[in-house]
Amino acid sequence: MPFGYNREAPRLAIQVGRYAHAKPFKRMRKSLKTLRTRVGRVYRDVERHIDHLPENQQAPGKHLLQRVNRILTQQPKDKNKLYALHAPEVNCISKGKARAPYEFGCKVTVAVTAKEGLVVGMRAMHGNPWDGHTLAETLEQVGILTEQTPKIAVVDKGYRGVEIEGIQILRTGQRRGITKSLRALIHRRSAIEPIIGHMKSDGRLQRNPLKGELGDALHAVLCGAGQNIRWLLKPLRLLLAQILRRLADQYGLQPLGELPITG
């Protein structure tokens, strides 16, 4: 393999990203074509010499070559494209936002209680399914973990048209047949957004260090458990502060937070 490609390929990949951001697409396509040519040369060179490897290394090598060939031959409008060489299960998920229209990863469903905001279900959904098709599996997980079947589920407009027997589905913006108490319950749907934001920023939900589809499933459950632990630690910290305050008042001690600074 030409040693110059080790330096040239990362440089071209960075340049493609810069052109895509600045939007001179003609230059971007030219750099992308050059990068594709370099990868194709290395791919064909490795394909010619892969039979010289030991037999125990040929199978992983051929499997890697199949992924590389898939990346080289796929077109922009193809379905089920390969977005990451090391993680073929990654999907392109549309967010519908102007500042970030797409994100790459795995879709995760989150279920929390209406009043306390306690996470009672998190499940990784591979294949980028429609939101409405994930509701039944999410509620099934909630029933398994809590040993109770929910009677009401509050969802957003992405679940429009979904009906589950025995469970009342309330959607944001729904008007027909909605009482004052149900309207207040629908407004609680927005409380799940900051919970998801905290799990992404504080609970490491944004990036998964575990490999494969099983790693995605485990990571989602662990992030939900971590969110519940942080939720439980908050009242415990307040209780500890109250205990320390009462002990300080009882024995005439100065609280730790009010000790004078000397030096």
**Boundaries of every domain in the chain:** 4-73, 102-227
Judge contact between 91 and 83, C-beta under 8 A.
yes
Residue 169 and residue 153 in contact, taking contact as beta carbons nearer than 8 Å: yes
Q: How far is CA 194 from CA 98, 119, 180, 187, in A?
A: 20, 13, 24, 14
Residue 30 one-letter amino acid: K
pLDDT for the residue numbered 6: 85
pTM: 0.80
Contact call for residues 124 and 107 (beta carbons, < 8 A): yes
For residue 111, what are the β-bridge partners? Answer: 121
Q: Mean pLDDT per 10-residue run, the chain (263 residues)?
A: 76 94 94 94 93 90 93 89 90 85 91 92 92 92 91 91 90 87 90 92 90 93 94 92 88 62 46
CA distance 189 to 17: 37
**Distance between CA 136 and CA 173 in Å, rounded?**
21
Q: What integer pLDDT is reported at residue 101 of this predicted model?
A: 86
Beta bridge mates, 125: 107
Q: Interior CA angle at 189 toward 184 and 192, to 5°? A: 140
CB 108 within 8 Å of CB 124: yes
Q: Given this model, what pLDDT does residue 256 score?
A: 58
Per-residue pLDDT, 254: 67
Residues 6+ apart with CB under 8 A from 139: 111, 121, 149, 150, 153, 164, 167
| pLDDT score at 258 | 53
Q: Which two tokens stand for residue 168?
A: 């009342």
Is residue 172 within 8 Å of residue 186, measured between CB atoms?
yes
DSSP state of 255: P
According to the model, what pLDDT value does residue 248 have? Answer: 86
CB hemisphere CA count around 87 (13 angstroms):
19
Range 224-231 contact pairs with CB under 8 angstroms and sequence separation of 24 or more = 224/110, 224/119, 224/121, 224/122, 224/199, 225/119, 226/199, 227/119, 227/195, 227/198, 227/199, 227/203, 228/118, 228/119, 230/198, 230/202, 230/203, 231/116, 231/117, 231/118, 231/119
Is 196 within 8 Å of 109 (Cβ atoms)? no
The predicted structure's pLDDT at residue 2:
52
What pLDDT was estimated at residue 261?
47
At 94 the pLDDT is 87
Give the per-residue pLDDT at 161. Answer: 87
Q: Both tokens of residue 11? A: 């440089």
